[in-house]
Every structure is written in structure tokens, then in C-alpha cells.
Structure 1
């Protein structure tokens, strides 16, 4: 077995193009998923009963169905309702909806575990439940929940590979295109593994740096 280094040299810049698209999708989806997940997690702790039930139903549906099916529902279903999206935004929306459900559970578990006496003390001085969650409990939960949030972002990065099924030209799709034209699966898939490993290693390093700099409550 020999490695075709000419194929490797040719593939590196082409895969870099796919990497840029992967990072764009992951960045936007992570931002939307984080924002939505925090909001849903806080609602599940302090919202009205009917809102908590809606959040629970949403989380259960996302956790109970494969992400690939969710991608198909967004990509093929939204146009039937009059929302015509390109592959990029369909992928972003599917990934962010999926991520938000898992982040909501992370937030619910982390914020809900903060010592109850602080909530009682805040209520005694007239703070509302929403302000208690936002200004007292959530800030104390950021550092404990950071490793779980990092894992979710890493999962989201890897899940961008599923968008190749709707023809998003991300990292995996670019690799598939090279394999189809040059039939060098060993070289290309090994390169794909290296690219994903490098990206995720950087994300993990950034997370550790942020965690060390966050104040300990």
C-alpha cells in the first residue's frame, strides 16, 4: 500500500475551502444554538407552566430523533410552508435547532443546581424569578457548564459533515468530491480526519483558556 502524495498535495487547498465553509456554518449555528439554548433553559426553570411544557416537548423531540432526519425536515419541509432557503441556511437552522435543545438541558441542569438559599435571599429583597435567573444564578453557572458547552460545540462541528447530504460544500463534501474524481479514498479520508482533529483541538484549547480566566464563584 502506497500513498499518492501528489493527490495529497492537490487535496490540501481544496479541503481548506471546505474547511472555511464548515467554520462559517458551525460559527453561525453555535451562536444561534447558544442563544436559543440559554433562553429555553431559563424558560424551563422559571417560565409559565405551558411554556415549560413546550420547551420539554421540543427538547424531547430533538433528542428523540436523528439529526439527519431533522436536516431533511428543515431542508424539504420549510419550502412547503413558503420558506425557501438555500443549503447553507437550511443547514445552519437544522444544526442550531438541534444544538439549542441540548444546550437548554445543560443550562437547566447547571443553573438549577446552584444553592437554593441564594434564590430565597433574592426573593426576600423583592427580585423577580426572571431577574434571579438572569443576574444571580446564570453568571454562577457559566464556568461549571463550560465543559459541557464545549462538548456540544465539538459535536456541532462534527455534525456539519451530515450537511453533505443536502449538497452543502463543507469539509466532508469537498473530500467526497475529490474521492469521486480521483478515487483516492485512503488519502482523502485520512486528510479529513486530520482537518477535523485540528479544528476540534483548537476549540478545546480555547475552551480551556476561557475556563481558566473565568472567575470562581
Structure 2
């Protein structure tokens, strides 16, 4: 059986796994961005009892392996009385970890916004949170588009780790097909091609967003 015949015969299974991977990205990315924006506001607080715990949480999440967090969520949630499907446990773990990375990316962008922008926001009567979300954060987001794009690509690749808890994503679909066909090389070349297409399109999107951001600066 040639690799072309393998692909042709099992293409629906590849697409099923690919859709699960897309679903993971669709669940993780918005959650990570929203939570990252909340964390960065706390991280920038002048009160040590606010930024201290958040700093510790960010450092913890950045230095713990993603797969370990997935295992903790998958096996730990039932101990708390919450029985969730492996897909949702994995999405929760990946989103939480990438929240820390995105918070740090945004913090770098916020630090690049001139202090005069904060002062201008306060001058027109906005409260600190309003200044942050309505004045500073939009400018910071424009500055961190390349770094944010890199982080999104990493998140996409991290979804492959869910295969370790039995979620039939693109990677596990490839493994199952390999066991059935013994065409290991051919199958995983196709799996890699799917990931490459997805990450390349994502990178192209952020290159386009970066070009728009440069025009607005």
C-alpha cells in the first residue's frame, strides 16, 4: 500500500482528528487571551498583595510542563467531584498555561506604551482600569502582534499533547491509523502536513495583522 493510498483511504479519519484539534484551539485561545488580559492588569498593580501572588502564579505556570498540567486536570478534576470529558480537561489545562505566557507578552507591550498615555487617560476622567482597557491595552496589543502570533503557534502545537490522555485529535488519529496500516512514516508525514498548514496559515494571519499594526503606529 503506497502512502497515497493510505491517505486516500483514511482521509476522513484525518479530518475528524483535525476538527478536534481546531476545536481545542477554538476553546483555548479566546480563554487564554481574556484571562491573560486580567492577569496582566493584576500583575501591573502597585500593591504587593495583588501582584505578588499573580507573579508567583505566572512563574509557576510558565515552568510546569504542559503535559503535566493536562494530567493533573484529567485525573484531579474527578477527585474534586467534577467529571469532565478529556477534551475539556485538556482545553482547560492548555488555556491556563498559555494564559501565563500571554500575560507576559502583554506586559511587555504595556511597558512599551509611554507613561503619557496613562496620564492622558486619567486627565479625561477615566479610572485606572478604564485607562488600561480603553487606552493602553489597544496600543500594547498592536506592539505585541509578532510575539502573540508566536505564542498562538506554540498553543496549536501543544494541542498534540492531548493524545496522551486518549483524546482523538490529529496526532492520536495518526497513531491509530499507523497501528492499523503499519504505514508509520506515511501517516505521520500527513499529520505533520496538517499541522504545518494550520500553523502556516496562523503565522500568515499574524503577519497581516502586524502589517496593519505598523500602518496605525
TM-score by length of 2: 0.93
State how far apart, in whole Å, the 2-side matches of 1:14 and 1:163 are: 17
Runs of 4+ more than 4 Å apart: none
Residue 76 of structure 1 is matched in structure 2 by 75
Q: Which residue number in structure 1 is paired with residue 40 of structure 2?
A: 41
What's the CA shift for 1:124? 4.5
- 1:28 and 1:92 in contact (8 A); partners too: yes
How far 1:47 moved relative to its partner?
6.5
C-alpha displacement of 1:25: 0.7
User: Could you say which residue in structure 2 is the equivalent of 1:216?
Assistant: 216
Tell me what 1:156 maps to.
Answer: 155
Equivalent pairs counted in the alignment come to 216
Equivalent in the alignment of 1:58: 57
Distance in 2, Cα, partners of 1:58 & 1:29: 18
User: What RMSD over aligned residues (CA atoms) do the two structures have, in Å?
Assistant: 1.7
Deviations 1:141-160 (A, max 9, x none): 11111111111111111011
Pick closer, same or farther for the CA change 1:136–1:4 going to 2, 3 Å. Answer: closer
CA contact (8 A) 1:18 1:172 kept: yes
Q: Is the 8 A contact 1:111 1:138 kept in 2?
A: yes
- Paired position in structure 1 for 2:181: 182
- The answer to whether the 8 A contact 2:142-2:210 is kept is yes
Gaps of 5+ in 1: none
**Quick one: distance in 2 between partners of 1:185 and 1:58?**
40
Deviates more, 1:206-215 or 1:181-190: 206-215
Output one character per residue of 1:14-35: Cα deviation in whole Å (capped at 9) or x when no partner: 1111001100111110011111
Q: Gaps spanning 5+ residues in structure 2: where?
A: none
Measured in 2, the distance between the counterparts of 1:33 and 1:134 equals 17
| Residue 22 of structure 2 corresponds to residue 19 of structure 1 | no
Deviation sequence 1:40-89 (CA, Å, 0-9, x none): 11221136432211211111111111111111111111111111110110
Partners of 1:3 and 1:42 in 2: CA distance: 55
Are the counterparts in 2 of residues 46 and 129 from structure 1 also a CA contact under 8 Å?
A: no
Deviates more, 1:115-124 or 1:190-199: 115-124
